[in-house]
């Protein structure tokens, strides 16, 4: 079995794992939503923001399930309805995680600064990576093909930088909830479970993009030789 074939099957395996992990996030969220808390998701995010002096960061409701995110350009946390209004450990954990991202920006956490800086380049690279590789191979322009491989490598690098950002935001969320809220250990543990399940999807995404980068690099290098 060639290295290219091994990488191909590894990519398929990681893709299947990613699907399973996505399902795990949803099932974990639904399960931990049964653990009631006095705080709603909105309350938790607002508490963390205010305790860190981030009174100017707004919190808005958005559509979709688990569509929660922090938008640094608008200085706003957008929470899905289930998280915004939910008075349970799952909702509080997700909301606290997004507040953790806002705190990261406020304290200029280095990995999130790097991720923010490379977003435009990585978006461009990921958009044109595959077309450049395919066109380069078709016309035997290996410079063009390698440019496409580098573009895909940027996506893998972005996923790599994302890992410490997401893990750190989750760690901050749990620590801030423990410091500022009245949640008991059971609720804190439930919130951590939701965030851990979500974090694993980022690990899978990094693995998938890295394997695809290596596979494309191998294909182009082999064709050139």
The pLDDT confidence band at residue 181, using thresholds 50, 70 and 90, is confident
Dihedral angle over CA of 132, 138, 143, 149, nearest 10: 40
Could you confirm whether 81 is annotated as catalytic?
no
Beta bridge mates, 60: 78
Continuous segment of H or E residues that includes residue 61? strand 58-62
Distance separating alpha carbons of residues 112 and 172, to the nearest angstrom: 14
Given the residues 60, 81, 98, 186, select the one marked as catalytic.
98
Beta-strand relationship, 76-80 and 58-62: parallel
What is the three-state SS of 96-140? HHHHHHHHHHHCCCHHHHHHHHHHHHHHHHHHHHHHHHHHHHHCC
Answer for the pair 190, 116: CB distance below 8 angstroms, yes or no: no
pLDDT at position 198 over 90: yes
Confidence of residue 51 (pLDDT cuts 50, 70, 90): very high
Straight-line distance from the first to the last Cα atom of the chain, in angstroms, rounded to the nearest whole number:
20
CA proximity to 32, closest of 92, 100, 95:
92
Structure-block tokens of residue 70: 């922090």
pTM for the full predicted model = 0.89
pLDDT digits (tens, 9 = 90+) for 166-177: 999 999 999 999
Q: Give percent above pLDDT 90 in the chain.
A: 68
Structure tokens at 155: 């996506």
Range of the domain at 11: 3-224
Where residue 14 falls among pLDDT bands split at 50, 70, 90? Answer: confident
Higher pLDDT, 122 or 34: 34
DSSP code for 33: T
**The dihedral sign for the CA sequence 184, 86, 90, 93:** negative
Q: How confident is the model at residue 83 (pLDDT cuts 50, 70, 90)?
A: very high
**Residue 221 confidence (pLDDT):** 86
Distance CA 85, CA 196 (A): 22
Sign of CA dihedral 11, 12, 15, 21: negative
Whether pLDDT at 4 is above 70: no
pLDDT reported for residue 28: 95
More confident residue, 81 or 141: 81
As for how many domains the chain has, the answer is: 1
**For residues 78 and 176, what is the distance between their CA atoms, to the nearest angstrom?**
19
The candidate with the shortest Cα–Cα distance to 91, out of 68, 113, 109, 108, is: 68
User: 123-136, pLDDT tens digit by residue?
Assistant: 888 888 889 999 98
* H helix or E strand, kind and range, residue 70: strand 69-71
Average pLDDT of every residue of the chain: 92
Model confidence at 29: pLDDT above 90: yes
Tally of CA atoms within 13 A in the half-sphere of 140 that contains its CB: 2
The model's confidence at residue 7, banded by pLDDT at 50, 70 and 90, is confident
Q: Report the DSSP beta bridge partners of residue 58.
A: 76
């Amino acid at each position: 079995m060639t290295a290219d074939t091994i990488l191909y099957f590894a990519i398929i395996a990681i893709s299947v794992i990613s699907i399973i992990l996505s399902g795990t996030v949803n099932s974990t969220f639904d399960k931990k939503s049964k653990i009631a808390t006095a705080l709603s998701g909105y309350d938790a995010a607002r508490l963390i923001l205010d305790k860190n002096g981030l009174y100017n960061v707004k919190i808005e409701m958005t559509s979709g399930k688990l569509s929660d995110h922090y938008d640094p350009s608008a200085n706003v946390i957008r929470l899905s309805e289930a998280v915004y209004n939910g008075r349970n450990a799952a909702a509080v954990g997700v909301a606290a995680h997004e507040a953790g991202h806002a705190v990261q920006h406020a304290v200029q956490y280095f990995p999130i600064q790097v991720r923010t800086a490379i977003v435009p380049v990585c978006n461009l690279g990921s958009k044109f990576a595959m077309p450049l590789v395919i066109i380069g191979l078709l016309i035997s322009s290996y410079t063009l093909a390698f440019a496409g491989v580098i573009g895909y490598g940027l996506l893998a690098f972005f996923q790599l930088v994302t890992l410490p950002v997401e893990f750190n935001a989750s760690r901050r969320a749990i620590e801030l909830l423990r410091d500022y809220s009245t949640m008991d250990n059971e609720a804190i543990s439930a919130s951590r479970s939701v965030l851990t399940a979500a974090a694993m999807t980022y690990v899978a995404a990094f693995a998938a993009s890295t394997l695809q980068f290596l596979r494309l690099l191998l294909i182009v290098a082999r064709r050139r030789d």
